[in-house]
Amino acid sequence: MRSFLVTLSAGAMFGAPVAADPLRDAAAQFYGPLPATVTELEGHVATPEKVELGKKLFFETRLSASGSHSCVSCHDLAKGGVDGLATALLPDGQSGLRNTSSVLNAVLNTDHYWDGREADLAAQTVGPELAGLAMINTPEAAVAALKAIPAYAEEFALAFPGEADPVTADNLARALESFEATLLTPAPFDAWLAGDDAALSDDQKAGLQIFMDKGCAYCHFGPSIGGQGYYPLGLVELPGIDIKAADEVAQAAAADPEAEDFVFRTAPLRNITLTAPYFHSGKVTDLAIAVDVMAAGQLGSPLAPEETAGIVAFLGSLTGTLPEIAPPTLP
Amino acid sequence: MRSFLVTLSAGAMFGAPVAADPLRDAAAQFYGPLPATVTELEGHVATPEKVELGKKLFFETRLSASGSHSCVSCHDLAKGGVDGLATALLPDGQSGLRNTSSVLNAVLNTDHYWDGREADLAAQTVGPELAGLAMINTPEAAVAALKAIPAYAEEFALAFPGEADPVTADNLARALESFEATLLTPAPFDAWLAGDDAALSDDQKAGLQIFMDKGCAYCHFGPSIGGQGYYPLGLVELPGIDIKAADEVAQAAAADPEAEDFVFRTAPLRNITLTAPYFHSGKVTDLAIAVDVMAAGQLGSPLAPEETAGIVAFLGSLTGTLPEIAPPTLP
């Protein structure tokens, strides 16, 4: 965002024909172009060795107790980094309670779960994922499985030089986080933010204006276009029971006066056209309906059909290009 | 094989320094180098459009009733085209009865199942896989799911031009077969067959000699180094009950005089170092033990430890290079 403004000023200074664009100026309050790379992570740096190891671990089914599920099983890189299901199907054939969040651009999110459990991505990879929610495994068992594969000992030693015993759950998490930090998807919206007027269609520009005017951008801001805070679903108007997840329905039925309200993370909106179904419960499959539920429920401001269509058009400009990730050959 | 002999003769004719190599001459009775491409399939040709469509379908979880499982879920390209499990874990959390066969080089196999049910690869992809064994779905439901996605109608029309209704189970199978025909993995053994003496180590050459002398090559022959016929496991000496699959154990316990003997396909041996555990039951995890079971059981000829080690070294030369397959973005 800052570098764009510098470019604009420099252009003006030297008399280059940079047209003033009020829409881009307004958008610059909320958004900057996607970074080309992210290597400075929480407490460590994503080195090429960590990225390479993390890529293998991302495809490694031996991290699950059943040996059947890897990160890719639910965070499918062919499908926007999710599984396309309402809620994840676990190795035991049971469904989880929450819709799978995308790993794409996840490094840019401040928060990493619908329910706000993990503040950083590295903790997330070994926390709920391994510890029962998705892999039905423990960090200890996953580390033991990796230690039984000699090639991994070598790769961990390369990725974490100078450590006496580098195959640890923390380093497993750091390697996965380093690989996931490469999963950035530059989109037409980024090109437009950086000055390419033709990158958005007129419909998309009109939709962006509506998105900001209606107030969507007050929660869906920052590099992930969301992913920055937690709110109850139904801030203004409660959504119907048909959008609630099974545990919420159960809590509502029990009518427990001690029960806390459910709050959910503002969804990051990059690649939202690829990641249906929507919401924490995965109960809404149509993006236009999801937009309408948000406008009515969170903003108390129902949309006219052409406003919904405009916002959906704008959201299409957030669908980016994934780096080509060929599955590595595992040791 | 034929083209190699032609090359050799031409070299000899023009006085080039081609040393006679009895081992390579002996191997040429059983093996020829892997083809660079395979496009002539049973009754159709693998066009680039079919390959591109088939690649998407190979990653398409909407082919399963649960929406959770694609071909890749069990035929993991990061793990030699298999799942690394004794027997596949199905979407309902139950295990299948047979070890997953690799899709790598599968186009070169004459037969495609442990039990010899499907003679060609295209029939296999829509037969048992969709019809309940792996995807817990029907061809009709899979076709209906694809028809609900407009982008697939366009891609099927491109891949099968001139057809009024191209989205069919047969065409789904042809597209998948076309993509799978690209999954060829040239290995050091192929380079050696083609004349590169240094492609095999001395240990591997010695192991190849043992492999042929002991009789392994009489079943494990052809471009897949196997995959050409069906035999009872325990042709000479019955293996222990610990190698039998659950359905065989049940049959043995029932002692039904009408029951037919189980026969199993000779395993293709390309990439065998990547595809543990072994046998139709997946009950043997160590390649050396699998070799010993085969020598004793199929040939009645137990191996000395150094013979086993030699054969294992030779088998390592069959581990090839997979083309880089980045997951496509699905419609």
Reduced 3-state DSSP string for B131-192? HHHCCCCCHHHHHHHHHCCHHHHHHHHHHCCCCCCCCCHHHHHHHHHHHHCCCCCCCHHHHH
Of A60, A91, A325, the CB nearest to B89: A91
A173 token code pair: 């998490």
Q: Which two tokens stand for residue B303?
A: 């191996």
**Domains along the sequence of chain A with CATH:** 2-35+185-316 (1.10.760.10), 40-180 (1.10.760.10)
CB contact under 8 A, B83 and A93: no
Nearest CA of chain A to the CA of B68: how many Å? Answer: 7
Mapped onto helix, strand or coil, the DSSP state of residue B238 is coil
For residues A309-324, average pLDDT: 96
Q: Which residues contact A254 (CB under 8 A, 6 or more apart)?
A: none
Selected residue of B52, B55, B58, B68 to mutate for chain A interface (largest A Cβ count, 10 A):
B68
Which of B61, B92, B327 has its CB closest to that of A77? B327
Instruction: Please give the pLDDT value at position A18.
Output: 44
Nearest CA in chain B to A58: B78
pTM over 0.95: no
Whether chain A has a CB inside 8 Å of the CB on B327: the answer is yes
Q: What is the mean pLDDT of residues A220-228?
A: 88
A92 interface with B at CB cutoff 8 Å? yes
- Cβ <8 Å between B67 and A83: yes
| CB-CB under 8 Å, B73 with A73 | yes
Is any Cβ of chain B less than 8 angstroms from the Cβ of A21?
A: no
Q: Does A274 touch chain B (CB under 8 A)?
A: yes
How confident is the model over A146-175, as pLDDT tens digits?
999 999 999 999 999 999 999 998 999 999
- The confidence band for A1, taking pLDDT boundaries of 50, 70 and 90, is very low
pLDDT score recorded for residue B119: 54
Collect contacts of B200-207 with beta carbons under 8 A, ≥24 apart.
Answer: B200/B314, B200/B317, B201/B313, B201/B317, B203/B309, B203/B310, B203/B313, B204/B313, B204/B314, B204/B316, B204/B317, B205/B23, B205/B314, B206/B310, B206/B313, B206/B314, B207/B309, B207/B310, B207/B311, B207/B312, B207/B313, B207/B314, B207/B315
Cis peptide before A277 (omega within 30 of 0): yes
Residue A85 in contact with partner chain B when CB distance is under 8 A = yes
CB contact under 8 A, A89 and B91: yes
- Compute the distance between CA of residue A136 and CA of residue B93 in angstroms, rounded to an integer: 12
Residue A81 confidence (pLDDT) above 50: yes
Q: What share of chain B is helix, strand, coil (3-state, %, to 5)?
A: 45, 5, 50
- All residues of chain B having their beta carbon less than 8 Å from the beta carbon of residue A56 are 78
**Contacts B93 to A, Cβ<8 Å:** 90-94
- Tell me which residues of chain B, numbers 221 to 250, contact chain A at a CB-CB cutoff of 8 Å: none
Q: Which residues of A touch B148 (CB under 8 A)?
A: none
List chain B pLDDT tens, one digit each, 331 residues.
333 333 333 333 333 444 569 999 999 999 988 999 999 998 899 999 999 999 999 999 998 888 888 999 999 999 999 999 998 888 888 888 889 999 999 988 876 666 655 555 666 655 556 555 467 678 888 899 999 999 999 999 999 999 999 999 899 999 999 999 999 999 999 999 999 999 999 999 999 999 999 999 988 999 999 877 777 776 666 666 677 777 777 766 766 655 556 778 889 999 999 999 999 889 899 999 999 999 988 888 899 999 999 999 999 999 999 988 998 989 8
- What pLDDT is stored for residue A297 in this prediction? 85
Beta-carbon separation of B79 and A91 below 8 A: no
Assess B94–A contact: CB distance below 8 Å, yes or no: yes
Find, in chain A, the residue whose alpha carbon is nearest to that of B322: A329
Distance from CA of B74 to the nearest CA of A (A): 8
**Is A328 in CB contact (< 8 Å) with chain B?**
yes
User: What value does the mean pLDDT of chain A take?
Assistant: 84
**How far A26 CA lies from chain B's nearest CA (Å)?**
32
ipTM here: 0.71
Task: Name which of B52, B79, B185, B274 to mutate to probe chain A: the one with the most chain A Cβ atoms within 10 A of its Cβ.
Answer: B79
Tell me which of A52, A58, A63, A68 to substitute to probe the interface with B (most B C-beta atoms closer than 10 Å): A68
Partner A, chain B 54-73, Cβ-Cβ below 8 Å? 56, 59-62, 66-68, 70, 73
Contacts of B185 in chain A (CB under 8 A): none
Contact assignment for A91 to B91 by CB distance below 8 Å: no
